Amino acid sequence: MKPIFTNDWADILHPEMQKPYYLELRRKLADEYRSHTVYPDMYRIFSAFHLTSFADTRVVILGQDPYHGPNQAHGLSFSVQPGRHVPPSLENIYRELHDDLDCPPVRHGFLEHWAKQGVLLLNHVLTVRKGLAASHQGLGWEMFTNAAIAAINERETPTVFILWGRSAQEKGSFIDESRHLVIKSAHPSPRSVDRGFFGSRPFSRTNDFLRAKGLPEIDWCLPAVVEALKEEGETKT
């Protein structure tokens, strides 16, 4: 297997890719991509890790699985490709961002600006079949992303984990809250957003923590205009 990661995630994730569960996952994914439409494009499955190195990770925002509509998912949780309609959950995130930090609203859903600053936009499961939410749960991605989160948790560097919704909070059950900040609230989905997401102030709380630890804050305000998404030429799974 050709190396997939060219940054410091390689030392952590390449060994995971030699384990029996991942080899079986890879086999299943090959069948899925051959037989069905699967998102994101296979070259963008690992975009979160490519854009946010292990050493640079200061914040983790954990999602469930990729968007399952055409031309949306591109490997970053909650983010959609330029030119696509902003999904409802992300609209709610933007509303909270405006209320929290007074960031002006934008008309796109492209979150690469966050990723390049050290916000690991990670999904629990990294692929999904078209039109079938959660269709790739149980294939093995959960073990893979658990390994990534566990590695971040074990660092001495203080990190913020933003866990929206019950499933994300369950996945973060092993995070050491004596060293890291864990921000929990309801998921921003329209079905649950009024159960504590609005008013939770995750963005300012994150920056307060980072500043107190002597770490650079995140510029959460997104640029009004983004360039078209470029092909990344990443190695296939």
> Which residues are designated catalytic?
65
CA distance 62 to 165: 9
- C-alpha torsion angle, residues 88, 206, 172, 56 (rounded to 10): 100
Query: Encoding tokens for residue 55?
Result: 């050493």
**Is-contact 32 136, C-beta < 8 A?**
yes
Cβ neighbours, 10 Å, residue 131: 12
- At 63 the three-state DSSP class reads strand
Are 16 and 147 in contact, with CB atoms under 8 Å apart?
Answer: yes
Nearest residue to 71 (alpha-carbon basis) of 37, 33, 28 = 37
The partner residues of 60 in beta bridges, in order of sequence, read 120, 161
- Rounded to whole angstroms, what are the CA distances from 193 to 92, 164, 205? 8, 10, 18
CA distances from 48 to 60, 75, 165 (A): 10, 6, 20
Helix (H, G, I), strand (E, B) or coil at 144: helix
